[in-house]
Each structure stands twice: as C-alpha cells, then as structure tokens.
Chain A
Amino acid sequence: MDAFNFTRATTLDQAVQSAAQSPTAHSGATVRFVAGGTNLIDMMKIYVERPSQLVDINDLPLDKITPTPNGGLVLGALARNSDVANHPTVLRDYPVLSQALLSGASPQLRNMATTGGNLLQRTRCVYFRDTAHACNKREPGTGCSAIGGHNRMLAILGTSPDCIATNPSDQNVALTALEATIQIQGPKGQRSVPIHDFYLLPGTTPNRDTILEPGDLITSVTLPPPTPGSKSLYLKLRDRAAYEFALASAAVVLTLDHGKIHTARVALGGVGTKPWRSLEAEHILQGRSADPATFRLAAEAALKNAHPQSENAFKVELSKRCLVRALTTATRNA
C-alpha cells in the first residue's frame, strides 16, 4: 500500500470539494472517499488503487433508511448492507433487495459495506486485481489480459474488445430490477440518475465504470413505491454454497393478473459488464401467461446477444436456467 493522507469529512460540501481535486472519478483517482472500506482498502493493499488522499465519509449523516411520502424508500449511501437487508420495510416491500444483499459476501463484510460502496465496488477480474498483468480498466491502453485468459467468472453480455469484466455486485442487480434512482451531490450541485443510466458499458473506456465525475458523492438511493401485489425474488448460482460471487444471478419483480404477467422487471447478475437489465425478457413476459414456455422464451431473449469467452460459454445456459427458475419460483404462489 502507498502512503496516503487521511481526512474526515464533516459536511457534504467539504467531502465534494476534497474529491473534486482529483483529475478522475475512475481508475487512477488520486482522491477517494472511503465508506466501509471493504473494497477500496483491499485494492489499495494490492496497488490496484493508489490514492494519495482518503476522505472518510462515515461522519456524514447518510446512514438513514427513510420512507418517501409516496410510499417509496430512501437508502442513505452509508446505510450498511446488513441494516438494509434486515430493514422491515425492505423485507416487506423489496424482498429481492434483502435476498440479494444476504447472498453476498459474509456477515462481517455486510456489517461494514455500505449502499454507496456496494454500488461502486469494482470488478473481481483476476487481471484487474494483479498489477503484473495488462488491464485496460486499471491502466487504459495496456490491453485486456482476460480475453483469451482466465475468464470463467467474466461477462457474456455488454462486453467489448477492450474489456469483458463483470460488475460483481448482487445488490446492484436487485436495485436495477427495482428501478432505483441514485442521488448524487457534485461540485455543480445535486442530481438524480436512474440506475439504468448510472453504469457505463466498457466500450473503449473500461476505466469508467459509471457516469460519476470528480467530486461526485452518492448521497442516497431511492426505491420507487412497490407495485401492490408484486412478487420479487433474487436467485444466485455459484460453485459453492456461500461466500462467492455469482456465476449467474437473476432479480425479478413481477405483477400477475389472472395467471398472466402484467408487469415484469428483470435484471441479471454475474453475466453483464454492468448490472444487466433485460428489456428483451421483460418484453416477452409482459402480457403472457406465467408458464415454463414463457419463461424459457424470456430467458432465450435475454441471452440472445450473449458473447461468451474462452472459458464461460456455460454461463449462457446457466444464466437462462437461473432466470427460468427465478421466474418459476416468484410466480409459484401467485
């Protein structure tokens, strides 16, 4: 780990001002916020992140979980993953989010990890995490070692010739299916961005994971009010029973009307370069009867543009089965 300065922000403005001094909000940022530290400090230890200044944001009043007037819910950026997962409103109205959070990491990590930090956790691509190897996401222009390398865990959707890394988060898949919006405070003021627009495809700039600009601080995430009678579910598939990132996962939020699917929100994890909203699957599902044939059709549509790599062709089928099972289970008792 490199030596760094450490400061504690006491106001939002102070935090934003400090971070705005960095030339970038992406790979190579010289100033970093630290929330739970479970991702950032890890990467600093292996020289993947080398900030010269850390701004601790844990003193900011951003840890609350509060209802919105219209029945939605605001998750403060510093709300811990465990607190969100076990919050009674989340358990009642957004079970998919609770399930996603509880399927991730370990209890100890979830006690530290925050909503905002989880949104910005970086890929687990082994080449990204080892400075001995070329990686466009870590060092733009050096090449992508994962293409033709050990890419079993990596993405099959949204890849580019420059990067095939997965967004590894479980939380973000659920938030995508819930159509969350992200509140950001930046040097130019506040703005609110739908999660669907928050993450960027790698394209030729895989060093940019999100639309954030230098100084941007995530203050909260807003969940829209739940549709009455909606069913939601998160299913995560992996090699072992616990404590592993997803090979494939699916978050579904559905409403049914007399055996027919009325509305559907579908997001996939473990397979996309960003939390993967599948409008194609949603399109198939809406208006059709909730049966195995429909589910399979939706899964085929979701993976239609899959572009597997040398080691992860199995994810195409696995991801389909994951979605089919998630839809089957979510609609079983409807």
Chain B
Amino acid sequence: MDFSEFIDFIQTGAPVPPTNPAAPEPSSVIGAALPRIDGPLKTTGSARYASDYNFPRMAYAVPVCATIASGKISSLDTSAADKMPGVLLVLHHGNIGPLFRNASGGRNSENRPPFEDETIYYWGQYVAVAIAETFQQAQAAAAAVRVQYTPDKFNVATSLDDSIPAIGAPGGPRIASHRGDPDAAFHAAPIQIDQTYATPAETHNPMEMHATVAVWDNGKYTLYETSQGVVNHQLVMAQVLGIPKENVEIISRFIGSGFGGKLFPWPHSALAAVAARQLNRPVKLTVSRKMMFSNVGHRPRTQQRIRLGATPDGKLLSLQQDYRNHTSITDDIRENCGEATPFLYSTANLQVTSALVRRNVGTPTPMRGPGAVPGLFALESAIDELAIKLKKDPVQLRLDLDTLIDEEKNKPFSSRHLKECLLVGSEKFGWAKRNPEIGSMRKGDLILGWGVAVASWGAGRGGSEASVLLRADGSARVSSASQDIGTGTYTVVAQILSDKTGIPVNRINVVLGDSSLVAGPMSGGSTATASIIPSVAAAANAAIKVVLASAVRPAASPFFGQDPDTLTMTAGRVHRKDQTPDSGIPFQDILRMANLASANGDGKTGGHGSDTKALDYSMHSFGAQFVEVEWDPGIAKLRVSRVVSVVDGGRIINKRTATNQMAGAVVMGIGMGLLEQTIYDPRNGHPINDNFADYVVPTAADSPDIDVHFLDIPDPLMGEYGARGIGEIGLAGIAPAITAAVYHATGVRVRELPVRIEDLLTSKVQI
C-alpha cells in the first residue's frame, strides 16, 4: 500500500465538513519538550504490553513452522505431541475449523487465513500450533509435531531481473506517473545518468515481538494485541473469526514499537483466538524472534533503474524511474518507490513505472517510509551521481532543482521549505568547508566523507473521533481508539487537551489502545498525530461548551442568567469574553455548582479528503540530511560519525518526542545504509539470518553525534495546529546520504544496500 492508498484507507466513516475555528495562538504547552507522560510506567516496568497479560487457567501456544518454501504437506503427525505432558491441543489444517477471508472493510496482512489449505507458500509458514499448560510444554510439543512435505519449485532469487510482460500488459509494469516525453528528452540530453539501484529485504524487528493473548468469554473475544491500529484489527478479526464486530475487543495499551509491521493483523492472532475458543481458556501466543523474520512481514526487496537527462548547467531534462519489488505468492504488495519522484524536483519529462515479481517469501508489509525510503535511496543516489558528473555541489544542484509547484498534480505545495532545510542543514553541518575531491578530507588518521540527501514524505490525516471529560475535581480524561506505538501519542494528546482547557498535563488521563472507545486513527504513515489532534481539540471545545452552558444555570454562579456566548474558558477559568481570566472562576467550581460529575464532549473530525481547501494543494513534509563518515582505509573500517537532520514537518507539538523520533530514524538509517538485510538461502528459501546475531542492526556504539533541527513552520492546511506528523521523514534521506558520504571518502559507489566491508575493500584511497 502506498501513501495515497494509505490515506484513502484511513478515511474512516463519512466525511465530516471541516470545522476550521479561528485558530488562536497555542499556549506554551504546544511545542514544549515535555517528557512522555507514560515514561514512568515504562521505566518502572509497569506498562503492560500484549504478552504481559496473564489470566487464570491461561494456556500457551507455540506454532510449528514449515521447513520448505513451496509445496504441500503430505503428512502431519501429532501423535507424539498429543501424548506429551501438559499438551491440550494441537491445531492444524485438519482441525482448525473455519477461518475466513475479509472483504468487508479493513485490511489484513495475509489474505489467506492460517491453515486454509495444505499448501506451503514460504519458509516458516505456520503449519500447526501446539497449545499446552506451560510455555515450555507447548514448545516441546511443537518440536515433536512431525510434518512431511512434498516440495515444489520455489524462487527466492535476490535479483529481480525476471522476464515480465511489457508495460501495460497484464503482469507487466504499470505506469505510475507520466508527463512530457521522457524517452526522447533522455536520449537528447547532453548529460545522462543511467544506473540501477537495489535495496534488500529488511525485517522490521521492533523490540517487542508480536503477541496475542486471546480471552474467550461466552461468545465474546478480548484480544490483547500489539497493534498499530486497534480499530482495523477489530474489523478484520471479526471477519476472520466470523463473528459480529462488537464481539471482538482489541486492547493495545502499550506497544514496543512497530515500524509498520503491526499495522495489520497477522495469522497468529487468529490461531490464538481459535485455540482460546476451542479450549474455552485464555491463550497466549508470542511470536519468536525467529518467526519475526518470516511470519509478520518485511520491507520487500526493490530494484530501481533511474535515468536522468540534464543540461551541463544542471537543469533536469528528464527523470525516469523503473522499479520492481518482490511480493509473496499469495498477496500483491506494491512498494511505491515512486512516492516522491514525481514532485521532488522540477522537470518537464518524467515517467515512473512499477512492477511486481513473485517470490516464495512471507507477505511484505509497510515498513517505515514504505516506498519513499527505498525510492529516495535510488533517486537521491542518482542526483548525487549527477552532481558529480556536472562537477556541481550536491546541495547547490538540489537548490537549483527545487520547485514550489507539484508538477505532477499541477498544484502548489501547502508548505514546502526544502530549500530552507538544505540551507539550515549546510550551515549546521559546516558544508561550506567540504572539499569535493574523493578522500581529501582528514581527521587525524581517518578520512572523512560528507554526503547529503533530501527527504520527503506525504502529509495526510484520517478521520478521528475523541471523547473528553472535564471533571469536577479539576482533572480531565480523553479517550480514543487510537494507540501509542512508543512515539508519544499519549503525551501529544494530553498537550492538546491542556492547551485547549488550561488543565495541566499531569491532571489529564489519556486512554488509548482499546477498540471499544470511539474510533481513532491508525498509527502509521506519520498520520496519527495529525489525525487525532483535531478530534481532541473538537471534543475539548464541545466539553468547554457544556461548561459554559452550565455556568449560567446555577443561581450561585457569578454568570447566572447570562448568555453563554459571552463567556469563554482560559487557563481553566470561566470568564466573560470582555474580561480577563482572573475575573472568572475555575471550571471545576462551575461543575460543582451545577452538580455535574463532568462536562463531556465528543469530537469527530474528517480526514484530508473532507477538507475541500486542502484538496487544492499538494501536501508533504520535507527534510535534508547531512552525513559524515569516518573511513579507516587500512582496515576497511567505516562508521557514521555525525548526522545533521533538518525537518520541515509542520508545527512540532512536542520537541522531545519529535527529536527522539528523528534521532531514532537516523540510527535506523544507519542500519539500512550499512548493516541490515534479510538473506534468503537460495537453496531452500529460509531467511537464514533470522536472529539478532546474524541480522545486524546498529548498537548504541554505532550511534553517531546526531543534531536534529525542526523548521517548525505550521502547515496552514493541517488544521488548527498545523502539525503534519513526523516519523518516516527522518529516515528517508539517511541511506543515500550515507552512500554519498561513502563515495566521497572511499571513491566506491554502492548502488546496492547495505554498504558492506566487501565493497569498501575495493577502495583505492589510501592514507
């Protein structure tokens, strides 16, 4: 799913007309670097994650995974497992009972429900699940299930050079964007770049593994999940399990990150649910780290040919991107590598084509910055190669190619400050001191390489609802069926309510992560903040209206008998609009006089699509990322030493959580640039490095000096607060900036990620 599909997807419910109240200046709580309100719960270990839930009589489920990549189960023998101590049930194709596909809204990850047939589509696919009294017993039983297979041909090739039908033909590439005559312009261009770039399959690997604790109680399910979208999860699981939606409640109070891997349900949820129903006992199923590499999605491999035609002074005559990505046998997942290509730079002639090639791998799923992140690796690498060919500074080239019009949609950008990102970043990084010659910059015994790339990510919001209670004790509660994946949603929601009501953040109880609350947004695509805050603001306004209406009713109230429209609430005090707040009284006094437990307000705000004005604009976040690498040619050792990341992400609601997001993205980008790749053994299809020793991610020691800077310019079309939401944007430019820096230091151009020691050993640069 690409960003625009995602945006369409999250437009839940009927469009609601924009409210657009006259936007007052936000209070100082907006933008403050507030610590997470849920921080103490996490640091003391009292925040409960999905697998932390325990119930009396709870049983444990451990899946059995296929050890072939394609074929059929020829026999599945549970007789040994059945007899083992503590074993309650072994589920498989033969006895799972009905599980269904979903066609009535919501999105699942794998369309095929687990155990639907006896066909194996990828290594690691669940073929059975053992349920026992203890985790250890279940694990031992799972290991004792004997499965025989009839293997079939399979394909996990890394090269995506498969022969496929022509453009436009069924199964051939789709034209994703087109303008002008790019072929002719490219052929006529005096300067040409024509290169192919590749990004590997990457596994999300959030710290918290996927898990489900399923509780079945008289026809109703409570599923404790680690989900980036409890509302979607509920919708999908109701269909998969074949029961009414109101009979499934999804709880996801705390999430140890997701990176997109937890947006949509995975098969283990259904397995735990069926086991709980068949046994009439709570069942816990935790996906192991090993299974995380095959059963819960990954970023698919991409291969992208970029052609640039340019004039000697750096005008872009044409831009072509022909990309492919692998997908699974069962599902069509398109990694939209052309997400940013059509509007990032000014050019009259452009084409993006997209094709899928099938592999016997688990179904891919969005991973932080789906499409844009691998796509920008290719595009920004090509732009760097163009700058070198033109002998032009790569920052200057990008400044020259900047545009304030989205040339694909022919619409102005609502708020595009890419130029400022590049200029501020150059200043902070010290770019002016860069000597462009390869291997020319030193720091002691090391060679320095400096590289830059720009980042872009769509800005959008979905519909959202929220409920607010302003209580007579001066506290407040705000709730919505959204969730905090660790990024700070709890805190940001509290800040908005505090801004609206003047109630201090520490007196605000934020309730998220429960599908029985009013429908809130998914946590994905950097849209959660932008989506939820208008609904919280609307709910707060509605609750304040109740307070004001209540202020004129009690005889004891100083506002008795007045017109509520002449009143307002500032800093928690109700007062006449024409008088100062200290002339008024605290809202809780009003509630007490009116004998109200609380003043309640509901807010329901529409998404992007319901804002007619926003439709006239192209809305995106931008960024510029500058990277320094240190290169020790004697031992082929390369480390990222310094990163400056400048982000144009609209208004920043919380400087601390936002900075944290962007710094984390830098570290993730180092993983993408230098370390991470899921390797499928070509002889059997096993993602062979399916553990944290062999799938190498950056450690604290790999984290460089990181300087994050936000332009903090509100987007006028992102509602009252002008916040676009951030998450992906911090990652998008890091990998191409790293490979640009690697080239500057070593003279080695790496077009296939990650950069490996094998590549660096070919460097001719010496000290």
Q: Do A and B bind each other?
A: yes
**Do B140 and A3 touch (CB < 8 A)?**
yes
Q: Which of A1, A129, A130, A318 is within 8 Å of B139, CB to CB?
A: A1
A149 contacts across to B, CB distance below 8 A = 681, 683, 688
A283 contacts across to B, CB distance below 8 A = none
Q: Which of A126, A130, A153, A318 is within 8 Å of B636, CB to CB?
A: A318
A240 contacts across to B, CB distance below 8 A = 674-675, 696-699, 701-702
**Do A239 and B634 touch (CB < 8 A)?**
no
**Do A314 and B635 touch (CB < 8 A)?**
no
How far is B694's CA from A129's CA once the two chains are assembled, in angstroms?
A: 11
Shortest B682–chain A CB gap in Å is 9
Shortest A194–chain B CB gap in Å is 30
Q: Which of A2, A47, A133, A241 is within 8 Å of B702, CB to CB?
A: A241
The answer to the question of B757 belonging to the interface, with a C-beta cut-off of 8 Å to chain A, is: yes
Q: Which of B136, B636, B688, B700 is within 8 Å of A321, CB to CB?
A: B636
Within 8 A of B (CB), among A46-64: 47
The answer to the question of B354 belonging to the interface, with a C-beta cut-off of 8 Å to chain A, is: no
Shortest A323–chain B CB gap in Å is 10
Within 8 A of B (CB), among A147-161: 148-150, 153
The answer to the question of B639 belonging to the interface, with a C-beta cut-off of 8 Å to chain A, is: yes
**Do A324 and B634 touch (CB < 8 A)?**
yes
A130 contacts across to B, CB distance below 8 A = 686
A245 contacts across to B, CB distance below 8 A = 693
How far is B686's CA from A241's CA once the two chains are assembled, in angstroms?
A: 27
The answer to the question of A6 belonging to the interface, with a C-beta cut-off of 8 Å to chain B, is: no
B698 contacts across to A, CB distance below 8 A = 240
Shortest A143–chain B CB gap in Å is 12
How far is B683's CA from A126's CA once the two chains are assembled, in angstroms?
A: 14
**Do B701 and A126 touch (CB < 8 A)?**
no
B686 contacts across to A, CB distance below 8 A = 130, 132-133
**Do A244 and B696 touch (CB < 8 A)?**
yes
The answer to the question of A264 belonging to the interface, with a C-beta cut-off of 8 Å to chain B, is: no
In the complex, residue of chain A having the shortest beta-carbon distance to the beta carbon of B755:
A239
Q: How many A-B residue pairs have CB under 8 A?
A: 75
How far is B684's CA from A316's CA once the two chains are assembled, in angstroms?
A: 28
Secondary structure call for the B interface: loop
**Do B674 and A239 touch (CB < 8 A)?**
yes
The answer to the question of B143 belonging to the interface, with a C-beta cut-off of 8 Å to chain A, is: yes
Within 8 A of A (CB), among B568-601: none
A150 contacts across to B, CB distance below 8 A = 679, 681, 688-689
Q: Which of B683, B684, B691, B757 is within 8 Å of A239, CB to CB?
A: B757
**Do B635 and A241 touch (CB < 8 A)?**
no
In the complex, residue of chain A having the shortest beta-carbon distance to the beta carbon of B703:
A241
B688 contacts across to A, CB distance below 8 A = 126, 149-150
Shortest B154–chain A CB gap in Å is 15
**Do A241 and B701 touch (CB < 8 A)?**
yes
A153 contacts across to B, CB distance below 8 A = 694
Q: Which of A235, A241, A314 is within 8 Å of B758, CB to CB?
A: A314
In the complex, residue of chain A having the shortest beta-carbon distance to the beta carbon of B85:
A3
How far is B702's CA from A2's CA once the two chains are assembled, in angstroms?
A: 38
The answer to the question of B761 belonging to the interface, with a C-beta cut-off of 8 Å to chain A, is: yes
B675 contacts across to A, CB distance below 8 A = 239-240
Shortest B195–chain A CB gap in Å is 23
**Do A325 and B679 touch (CB < 8 A)?**
no
A239 contacts across to B, CB distance below 8 A = 674-675, 696, 756-757
Given A126-B694, A149-B683, A237-B637; A317-B761 close (CB under 8 Å): yes
**Do A242 and B696 touch (CB < 8 A)?**
no
Given A241-B699, A318-B757, A322-B635; A132-B694 close (CB under 8 Å): no
Q: Which of B140, B639, B691, B694 is within 8 Å of A241, CB to CB?
A: B639
How far is B763's CA from A321's CA once the two chains are assembled, in angstroms?
A: 13
Bitwise, A246-260 to B at CB < 8 A (1) or not (0) is 010000000000000
The answer to the question of B415 belonging to the interface, with a C-beta cut-off of 8 Å to chain A, is: no
How far is B636's CA from A209's CA once the two chains are assembled, in angstroms?
A: 31
Size of interface on B: residues with Cβ below 8 Å to A: 33
The answer to the question of B67 belonging to the interface, with a C-beta cut-off of 8 Å to chain A, is: yes
How far is B694's CA from A150's CA once the two chains are assembled, in angstroms?
A: 10
**Do B757 and A126 touch (CB < 8 A)?**
no
Within 8 A of A (CB), among B673-720: 674-675, 679, 681, 683-684, 686, 688-689, 691, 693-694, 696-702
**Do A148 and B757 touch (CB < 8 A)?**
no
How far is B288's CA from A1's CA once the two chains are assembled, in angstroms?
A: 14
B139, B675, B689, B761: which has the most chain A beta carbons within 10 Å?
B761
The answer to the question of A124 belonging to the interface, with a C-beta cut-off of 8 Å to chain B, is: yes
**Do B693 and A124 touch (CB < 8 A)?**
yes
Within 8 A of A (CB), among B738-753: none
How far is B679's CA from A3's CA once the two chains are assembled, in angstroms?
A: 33
In the complex, residue of chain B having the shortest beta-carbon distance to the beta carbon of A247:
B757
Given A124-B693, A314-B758, A322-B635; A47-B699 close (CB under 8 Å): no
Within 8 A of B (CB), among A274-292: none
**Do A1 and B140 touch (CB < 8 A)?**
yes
How far is B139's CA from A126's CA once the two chains are assembled, in angstroms?
A: 21
**Do B699 and A243 touch (CB < 8 A)?**
yes
B140 contacts across to A, CB distance below 8 A = 1-3
How far is B636's CA from A237's CA once the two chains are assembled, in angstroms?
A: 9
B693 contacts across to A, CB distance below 8 A = 124, 244-245
**Do B67 and A132 touch (CB < 8 A)?**
yes
Given A150-B681, A325-B635; A318-B689 close (CB under 8 Å): no
Given A240-B696, A242-B699; A47-B143 close (CB under 8 Å): yes
B757 contacts across to A, CB distance below 8 A = 237, 239, 247, 314, 318
B637, B674, B683, B697: which has the most chain A beta carbons within 10 Å?
B637
B758 contacts across to A, CB distance below 8 A = 314
How far is B635's CA from A325's CA once the two chains are assembled, in angstroms?
A: 7
A241 contacts across to B, CB distance below 8 A = 639, 699, 701-702
Bitwise, A298-332 to B at CB < 8 A (1) or not (0) is 00000000000000001001100110110010000
A129 contacts across to B, CB distance below 8 A = 691
Shortest B306–chain A CB gap in Å is 27
Bitwise, A211-245 to B at CB < 8 A (1) or not (0) is 00000000000000000000000010101111111
Within 8 A of B (CB), among A117-134: 124, 126, 129-130, 132-133
Shortest B125–chain A CB gap in Å is 13
**Do A318 and B679 touch (CB < 8 A)?**
no
B701 contacts across to A, CB distance below 8 A = 240-243
How far is B693's CA from A130's CA once the two chains are assembled, in angstroms?
A: 13
Shortest A129–chain B CB gap in Å is 8
How far is B294's CA from A132's CA once the two chains are assembled, in angstroms?
A: 15
How far is B691's CA from A321's CA once the two chains are assembled, in angstroms?
A: 29
Given A132-B686, A247-B757; A242-B136 close (CB under 8 Å): no
A148 contacts across to B, CB distance below 8 A = 683
Bitwise, B40-73 to A at CB < 8 A (1) or not (0) is 0000000000000000000000000001000000
**Do B702 and A325 touch (CB < 8 A)?**
no
Bitwise, B297-327 to A at CB < 8 A (1) or not (0) is 0000000000000000000000000000000
Complex A-B: 29 CB contacts under 8 Å = A1-B136, A47-B143, A133-B686, A148-B683, A149-B681, A149-B688, A150-B679, A150-B689, A153-B694, A235-B635, A237-B637, A237-B757, A239-B674, A239-B756, A240-B675, A240-B696, A240-B702, A241-B701, A241-B702, A242-B701, A242-B702, A244-B693, A244-B696, A314-B758, A314-B761, A318-B636, A321-B635, A322-B635, A328-B634
The 7 nearest A-B residue pairs measured at CB = A241-B701, A242-B701, A132-B67, A314-B758, A150-B688, A242-B699, A241-B702
Binding site for B on A (CB under 8 A): 1-3, 47, 124, 126, 129-130, 132-133, 145, 148-150, 153, 235, 237, 239-245, 247, 314, 317-318, 321-322, 324-325, 328
In the complex, besides A132-B686, A240-B701, 13 extra interface pairs with C-beta distance below 8 angstroms are: A126-B694, A130-B686, A132-B67, A145-B683, A149-B681, A150-B679, A150-B681, A150-B689, A237-B637, A239-B674, A239-B696, A239-B757, A314-B761
